[in-house]
Amino acid sequence: MIPHGMLEDLGELSLEHLEMVFIAMLAAAAIAIPGAILLSRKPRISRWGLGFANILQTVPSLALFGFLIPIPFLGVGKATAVVALTLYALLPILRNTLVGITGVDAAVRESAVAMGMTPGQILWQVELPLGAKAILAGVRIATVTTIGTATIAAAIGAGGLGVFIFRGIAEFDTVQILAGAIPAALMALLADELLGWVERRVA
């Protein structure tokens, strides 16, 4: 039996969930893609950058949410959740963008320089188009992961589909747990398909 009001809640929580993921992904891409471009120019710093993003990802997600709460202006709620999700999404995008850009064939890069292309022209006309597939794969992986991780945001009062899951756990109510878990899983699958399609279009 589906309890009264659950469907309305489901719509609202799904939207909330999507919104968090969407904003976090935009922010992560806006930081990680330019970040990776900078790192690709400085091989020595690039290990530090990747290391930092790596460490971020090894922090257990619940703990990361917790750590952020005491930070001024964030506190309990959506802002904290979005920041945490953004930090989590950095690594896959950073790593894939770096691989995409540095993976450009050496002969192609050499001829681009030798034809008299400026660094900007090489970035926009050679590196980004040739790295696009890898970059998009990074965004896809990060999005799918973030949709899952975002369920934990409910623990710090940020809402989203995790609300059902946490409530279900507290009330020993399997239906409620599933009402959160299934839509989240579907959302992840859908995002994977959609972004996978974009990726193939680019190739």
Partner 1 sequence: MTNGLLRKVYSLPSEPLAVEFRDVSYLASGRPILNHLSFQVPAGQTLILLGRSGSGKTTALRLINGLLMPSSGQVLVGGRPVSEWDLIDLRRKTGYVIQESGLFPHFTVERNVGLVPSLLKWAAPEQGARVRELLDQIGLPHAEFGRRRPGELSGGQRQRVGVARALAARPGLMLLDEPFGALDPVTRLELQRQLLDLRERELITSVFVTHDVREALKLGTVIGLLNRGELEFFGSPAEFQESEGDEARRFLEVLK
198 belongs to the binding site for partner 1 (CB under 8 A): no
> In this structure, are residues 120 and 148 in contact, taking their beta carbons and an 8 Å threshold?
no
> CB-wise, 118 or 174, nearer to partner 1?
118
At its nearest, how many Å lie between partner 1 and the CB of residue 128? Answer: 10
At its nearest, how many Å lie between partner 1 and the CB of residue 47? Answer: 21
At its nearest, how many Å lie between partner 1 and the CB of residue 41? Answer: 17
> CB-wise, 84 or 101, nearer to partner 1?
101
Total residues in contact with partner 1, by rule CB under 8 A: 16
> CB-wise, 51 or 129, nearer to partner 1?
129
> In this structure, are residues 184 and 144 in contact, taking their beta carbons and an 8 Å threshold?
no
Of 21-80, which residues contact partner 1 (CB under 8 A)?
A: none
| Burial of residue 192 (number of CB atoms within 10 Å: 0-12, 13-18, 19+) | middle
Rounded to an integer, what distance in angstroms lies between the CA atom of residue 54 and that of residue 52? 5
> CB-wise, 112 or 163, nearer to partner 1?
112
Of 98-157, which residues contact partner 1 (CB under 8 A)?
A: 105, 107-108, 110-118, 121, 126, 129-130
Q: Which residues bind partner 1 (CB under 8 A)?
A: 105, 107-108, 110-118, 121, 126, 129-130
